[in-house]
């Protein structure tokens, strides 16, 4: 996650700055034009290079997410069609491509947002209005951003090769910096060492006063409580991993059954609606042995899984849960996207198409169809079908997140054979 975050901030600015600021015919022409227009003014050249790069990045941020969003829409539509056709492999392939596009979009974009919250509430507008403090912070972030650094470096390189006076000044600064370093001579080294030894007692006194102050005692109590909550988060994630391992096969089998019998379910709903939902089809889902019955499985430990997720999402542990999930991308995606569906018991049962959830779904749809007129019956049947397809596809997406998080949690919670071997070697050396 941290490596991905760093790459997200550095990759695209560096890649886009190379052809316009550093290397290639476009960069050469650009530098020649800027020097001819502005001369050897360091500030103006850096500002113009920074402006060019920012404009290019804004165009990139406006175009690339829209392109990826369109591709994601096509992939989702193909996944829905796969569910309608009963092809579970193709549906899972679409979900894998979706997650790949999501990772690519996070890597190839800077996360700049050009959308603002629009509301007619005056109070909300007053809370979210522009302030001088926020404006100063944004300007400071721009001044210390990667595009600003790249523009300054490119300007220094251009002036180094074109302006002998600038190159001489830079060489003078570097030489003076080297002369003042303590390792350039024994005299400077002794001076630095004596100064450090003189400062150490004062620093130790300050550290002692801080460690034995009342503020530190209070923070020590808080740190002890925080440590216990971190342990609780780790143990809860371990229990959640065990529940995932215990139920993942049954969940996959249940989805396989739902997808393979999707057309039968839709046809039964249609026949039931045309027959005015007679008593003969009201209880067909309760007879798994009958040819027309549904054999949805009841999954174990879903309530326990929901309780663990609710505890991890509570106000007491949410910060520690976020810190734990941030370490691994798969666990983070489960926390951001999956915990919303895993927290309520009814929601997780509906997402995994348990027998009790399907009973409620079928009963609600048939009760709704009883109240619909004959003219609007076909339209509402189409809506019911599309809703079922979307729910199946989103459930498969949740299963994929769970499967990826299993590997991430196992890597994070348990040591690999190589790590255990290294631990044994270290202990033996001690």
Is there a single domain that holds both residue 191 and residue 121? no
Three-point CA angle 296, 302, 307, nearest 5°: 160
Asked whether residue 304 carries a pLDDT value surpassing 70, the answer given is: yes
pLDDT band at 354 (very low <50, low <70, confident <90, very high): confident
Is there a single domain that holds both residue 60 and residue 157? yes
Is there a single domain that holds both residue 51 and residue 165? yes
400 part of a folded domain: yes
38 part of a folded domain: yes
Residue 358 CB: number of other CB atoms within 10 A? Answer: 19
Query: What pLDDT does 285 receive?
Result: 41
361 part of a folded domain: yes
If you average pLDDT over residues 398-425, what whole number do you get?
80
If you average pLDDT over residues 136-148, what whole number do you get?
75
Asked whether residue 81 carries a pLDDT value surpassing 80, the answer given is: yes
If you average pLDDT over residues 402-415, what whole number do you get?
85
Query: What pLDDT does 74 receive?
Result: 92
Question: Can you give the chain as a three-state secondary structure string?
Answer: CHHHHHHHHHHHHHHHHHHHHHCCHHHHHHHHHHHHHHCCCHHHHHHHHHHHHHHHHHHHHHHHHHHHHHHHHHHHHHHHHHHHHCCHHHHHHHHHHHHHHHHHHHHHCCCCCCCCCCCCCHHHHHHCCCCHHHHHHHHHHHHCCHHHHHHHHHHHHHHHHHCHHHHHHHHHHHHHHHHCCHHHCHHHHHHHHHHHHHHHHHHHHHHHHHHCCHHHHHHHHHHHHHHHHHHHHHHHHHHHHHHHHHHHHHHHHHHHHHHHCHHHHHHHHHHHHHCCCCCCCCCHHHCCCCCCCCCCCCCCCHHHHHHHHHHHCCCCCHHHHHHHHCCCHHHHHHHHHHHHHHCCHHHHHHHCCCHHHHHHHHHHHHHHHHCCCHHHHHHHHHHHHHHHHHHHHHHHHHHHHHHHHHHHHHHHHCCCHHHHHHHHHHHHHC
Residue scoring higher pLDDT (359 or 409): 409
User: pLDDT by residue (tens digit) across 151-182?
Assistant: 877 777 777 666 666 656 666 655 665 655 54
Query: What pLDDT does 286 receive?
Result: 40
Query: What pLDDT does 83 receive?
Result: 87
Is there a single domain that holds both residue 138 and residue 203? no
Domain boundary at 156, 176, 196, which?
176
Q: Comparing C-alpha atoms, which of 19, 87, 49 is closest to residue 259?
A: 87
Is there a single domain that holds both residue 241 and residue 310? yes
200 part of a folded domain: yes
Range of the domain at 206: 181-212
Query: What pLDDT does 408 receive?
Result: 86
Contact of 294 with 416, CB cutoff 8 Å: no
Query: What pLDDT does 137 receive?
Result: 73
Is there a single domain that holds both residue 200 and residue 241? no
362 part of a folded domain: yes
Place of tokens 């042995």: 289
Query: What pLDDT does 125 receive?
Result: 62
Is there a single domain that holds both residue 116 and residue 74? yes
If you average pLDDT over residues 347-374, what whole number do you get?
75
Domain boundary at 115, 148, 176, which?
176
Q: How many domains does the chain have?
A: 3
User: pLDDT by residue (tens digit) across 98-134?
Assistant: 988 888 888 888 777 655 555 566 666 666 666 667 6
41 part of a folded domain: yes
The tokens for 22 are 């550093």
Q: pLDDT > 90: what percent of the chain?
A: 6
Query: What pLDDT does 171 receive?
Result: 62
Is there a single domain that holds both residue 166 and residue 191? no
Query: What pLDDT does 71 receive?
Result: 92
Is there a single domain that holds both residue 190 and residue 234? no
Place of tokens 């440590």: 227
Place of tokens 């039968």: 264
Residues 422, 78: Cα–Cα separation, whole Å: 47
pLDDT band at 16 (very low <50, low <70, confident <90, very high): confident
Is there a single domain that holds both residue 248 and residue 277? yes
User: pLDDT by residue (tens digit) across 264-293?
Assistant: 776 666 666 555 544 444 444 443 333 345
User: pLDDT by residue (tens digit) across 241-272?
Assistant: 999 988 888 888 888 888 887 777 766 666 66
Is there a single domain that holds both residue 119 and residue 66? yes
Is there a single domain that holds both residue 16 and residue 138? yes
Query: What pLDDT does 163 receive?
Result: 62
120 part of a folded domain: yes
223 part of a folded domain: no
Query: What pLDDT does 279 receive?
Result: 43
Q: Comparing C-alpha atoms, which of 304, 307, 282 is closest to residue 292?
A: 282
Residues 220, 233: Cα–Cα separation, whole Å: 20
Asked whether residue 192 carries a pLDDT value surpassing 80, the answer given is: no
Asked whether residue 228 carries a pLDDT value surpassing 70, the answer given is: yes
Residue scoring higher pLDDT (202 or 81): 81
If you average pLDDT over residues 75-89, what whole number do you get?
88
């Amino acid at each position: 996650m941290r490596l991905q975050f760093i790459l997200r901030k550095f990759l695209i600015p560096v890649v886009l700055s190379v052809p316009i600021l550093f290397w290639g015919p476009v960069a050469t022409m650009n530098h020649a034009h800027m020097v001819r227009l502005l001369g050897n003014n360091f500030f103006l050249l850096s500002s113009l290079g920074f402006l060019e790069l920012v404009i290019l990045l804004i165009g990139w941020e406006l175009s690339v997410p829209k392109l990826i969003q369109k591709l994601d829409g096509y992939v989702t539509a193909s996944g829905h069609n796969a569910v309608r056709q009963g092809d579970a492999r193709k549906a899972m392939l679409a979900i894998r491509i979706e997650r790949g596009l999501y990772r690519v979009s996070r890597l190839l974009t800077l996360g700049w947002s050009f959308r603002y919250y629009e509301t007619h509430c005056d109070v909300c507008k007053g809370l979210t209005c522009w302030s001088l403090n926020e404006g100063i912070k944004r300007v400071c972030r721009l001044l210390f951003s990667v595009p600003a650094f790249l523009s300054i470096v490119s300007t220094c390189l251009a002036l180094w090769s074109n302006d002998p006076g600038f190159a001489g000044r830079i060489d003078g600064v570097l030489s003076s910096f080297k002369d003042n370093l303590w390792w350039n001579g024994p005299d400077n080294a002794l001076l630095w060492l004596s100064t450090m030894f003189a400062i150490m007692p004062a620093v130790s006194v300050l550290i002692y006063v801080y460690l034995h102050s009342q503020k530190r005692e209070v923070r020590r109590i808080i740190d002890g409580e925080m440590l216990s909550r971190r342990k609780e988060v780790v143990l809860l994630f371990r229990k959640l991993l065990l529940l995932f391992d215990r139920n993942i096969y049954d969940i996959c089998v249940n989805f396989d059954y739902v997808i393979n019998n999707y057309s039968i379910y839709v046809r039964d709903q249609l026949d039931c609606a045309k027959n005015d939902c007679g008593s003969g089809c009201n209880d067909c889902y309760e007879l798994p042995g009958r040819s027309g019955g549904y054999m949805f499985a009841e999954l174990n430990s879903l309530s326990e899984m929901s309780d663990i997720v609710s505890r991890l999402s509570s106000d007491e542990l949410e910060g520690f849960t976020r810190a734990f999930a941030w370490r691994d991308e798969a666990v983070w995606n489960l926390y951001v996207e999956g915990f919303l569906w895993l927290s309520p018991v009814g929601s997780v049962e509906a997402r995994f198409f348990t027998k009790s959830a399907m009973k409620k779904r079928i009963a609600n749809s048939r009760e709704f169809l009883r109240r619909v007129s004959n003219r609007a019956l076909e339209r509402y049947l189409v809506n019911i079908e599309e809703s079922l397809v979307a729910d199946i596809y989103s459930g498969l997406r949740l299963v994929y997140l769970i499967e990826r998080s299993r590997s991430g949690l196992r890597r994070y919670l348990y040591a690999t054979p190589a790590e255990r071997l290294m631990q044994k070697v270290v202990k033996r050396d001690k």
